[in-house]
């Protein structure tokens, strides 16, 4: 991934400067469980036309060290905001996929003045595994305990990209997942399983876009509906034919939805009375 490599201590990130002369607010991108900032390769060309973008490696992922204890999602959000705040030019648009979506939600709950808008992709307020996904969830945890990380990577990537013509995407996802230290991956997975933001959703008042992959086998559609219903200023957009990795498997529709949303938020802010 091109861009300037940066580190705030606990959080490593890649800073992408905008190509436009009058850039909009910063955009912060938070990846999914077991991946890294390279999740967002299909979004960067579109976003950097008009925004300064920080693509992060969450703790224990990519170039960021694991936290020294059994972390919660709040610990992840604390590390994110405390490390990147000096770099931000005011409140930022924060977008998160899966694990990153949970961290983005927690940022809005704990640091509302730092968040201009939220884009939450295939995430939830509380884990609700669809019936068709229970076997895969149990399989993932079983493999994580006893199998090499390469096996975990292959198992998870098969679910993310099940179509025969997605072989290249499967292989890339498997390699990224296999590169995770087992302890750091397990810590993050347990943080996801313990996360419960249902009681705090009504306090989120920033504009929020919830994006749902219609064929997601990891997070049930109803969990995403309930998330959108719980946030006053939220809307739900469903991407037909997309699975859990919507920024990758449906990137054209995803980019359009994201850019339209950011444009609306920024236009609304310029129209506010002085």
pLDDT score of 274: 46
At 4, list the tokens.
């300037």
The tally of CA atoms less than 13 A away on the side-chain side of residue 261 is: 27
Residue 138, Cβ neighbours under 10 Å: how many? 11
Question: Residue ranges of the domains in the chain?
Answer: 4-129+196-270
pLDDT score of 133: 59
Rounded to two decimals, the pTM is: 0.92
Low-confidence ranges of the chain (pLDDT < 50): 274
Closest CA to 101 of 217, 13, 233, 228: 228
pLDDT score of 168: 94
pLDDT score of 148: 85
pLDDT score of 49: 92
Element (H, E) at 237: strand 234-239
* CATH entry 2.40.110.10 includes domain 4-129+196-270: no
What is the DSSP-derived secondary structure letter of residue 130?
-
pLDDT score of 19: 83
Interhelix angle 149-160/134-146, rounded to 10 degrees, is 160
pLDDT score of 152: 83
């Amino acid at each position: 991934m091109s861009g300037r490599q940066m580190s705030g201590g606990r959080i490593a990130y890649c800073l992408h400067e905008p190509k436009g002369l009058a850039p909009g607010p910063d955009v912060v991108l938070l990846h999914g469980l077991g991946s890294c900032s390279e999740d967002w390769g299909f979004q960067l060309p579109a976003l950097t036309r008009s925004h300064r973008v920080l693509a992060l490696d969450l703790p224990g992922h990519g170039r960021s060290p694991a936290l020294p204890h059994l972390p919660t999602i709040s610990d992840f959000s604390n590390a994110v905001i405390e490390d990147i705040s000096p770099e931000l030019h005011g409140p930022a648009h924060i977008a998160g996929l899966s694990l990153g979506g949970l961290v983005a939600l927690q940022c809005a709950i704990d640091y509302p003045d730092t968040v201009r808008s939220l884009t939450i992709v295939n995430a939830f307020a509380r884990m609700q595994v669809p019936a068709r996904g229970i076997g895969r969830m149990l399989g993932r945890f079983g493999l994580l305990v006893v199998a090499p990380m390469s096996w975990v990577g292959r198992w998870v990537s098969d679910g993310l990209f099940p179509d025969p013509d997605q072989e290249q995407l499967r292989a890339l996802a498997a390699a990224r997942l296999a590169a995770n230290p087992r302890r750091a991956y397990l810590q993050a997975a347990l943080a996801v399983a313990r996360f419960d933001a249902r009681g705090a959703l009504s306090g989120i008042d920033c504009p929020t876009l919830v994006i749902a992959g219609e064929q997601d086998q990891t997070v049930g559609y109803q969990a995403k509906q309930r998330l959108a219903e719980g946030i006053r200023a939220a809307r739900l957009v469903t991407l037909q034919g997309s699975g859990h990795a919507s920024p990758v498997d449906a990137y054209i529709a995803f980019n359009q939805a994201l850019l339209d949303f950011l444009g609306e938020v920024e236009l609304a802010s310029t129209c506010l009375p002085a």
